[in-house]
Amino acid sequence: MQQLAVCYVGRGYWFYVAGCIPKGKDPHAVDQKLIDRYQIGISKWAKARRKQAGFANLQYIRFERFFIILATHGNHRFFEEEAAAIRDVRRCPIRFAGYSISFRGNHVQVRIEKNEYRMQKAYLLDLAVRRSPAALEDEFRRIPFEPYAPIRSQVLSIFRAVNGARKAAGFVEISRDGLRLKRRVVQPFDLPNTECKV
């Protein structure tokens, strides 16, 4: 997620095609096929020359069977061959593993995807008056999303809603001390196990 958001989308790789490699196909063979087809594996110096000449540069990332090809502005056969499937992250967020990545207001935004957010909120509100403060604080600690700034806002919104429900029912409010509000910086591709959801 960090590699995708910070290193690529944040550096102008706004156009993308995402998909899942079908079971039965060798992911490594698909990797090589796409890298060769679109000449993605070129050196950083070759990419710099391409950029100066007005050509697009591409990046390819795969996690398990989910893959994404990202491109910058410029000329490239990718835009012709993938025209029907290409999305612009400024208009259509990348959705993966419950996250939503977009580029708005001149910066990258990483959020909990809308449906996932609604499910998380509904789940925690359902527990708000049926669990002890300690148990609820544990539930908040288990929220499986890295707290990028927009995600922190989303988690704090759920937290306030839970405390509002507890207060209305006459229960003691929970503490925000246990909330994870600082993002862990990880090495590229050192990601937890997840399903392929596009």
Residue 18 to residue 195: CA distance in whole angstroms: 14
pLDDT-derived band at 188 (thresholds 50, 70, 90) equals low
Q: Give the number of other CB atoms < 10 A from CB of residue 81.
A: 13
pLDDT-derived band at 191 (thresholds 50, 70, 90) equals very low
**Which contacts of 26-31 are long-range, i.e. CB under 8 A and separated by 24 or more positions?**
27/62, 27/64, 27/65, 30/62, 30/67, 31/60, 31/62, 31/67
Q: Which residues pair with 99 in a beta bridge?
A: 96, 112
pLDDT-derived band at 129 (thresholds 50, 70, 90) equals very high
Residue 15 to residue 90: CA distance in whole angstroms: 9
Residue 159 to residue 156: CA distance in whole angstroms: 5
Question: Are 137 and 156 in contact, with CB atoms under 8 Å apart?
Answer: no
Write the pLDDT tens digit of every residue in 51-99: 899 999 999 999 999 999 999 999 999 999 999 999 999 999 999 999 9
Name the pTM for this structure: 0.82
Q: Which residue do the tokens 């025209």 mark?
A: 83
Q: Give the number of other CB atoms < 10 A from CB of residue 172.
A: 10
User: Which residue did the predictor score with more confidence, 49 or 191?
Assistant: 49
The sheet with strand 107-112 has its strands ordered as 94-96, 99-104, 107-112
Give 137's Cβ-side CA count (13 Å radius). 11
pLDDT of residue 192: 46
Query: Collapsing DSSP states into helix, strand and coil, what is residue 192?
Result: coil
The sheet with strand 87-88 has its strands ordered as 58-63, 66-71, 15-20, 87-88
The residues, any chain, with a CB within 8 Å of residue 167's CB and separated by 6 or more, are 173
Mean pLDDT of the chain: 90
C-alpha 147, offset from chain centre: 12
Domain boundaries defined on the chain: 2-92, 94-198
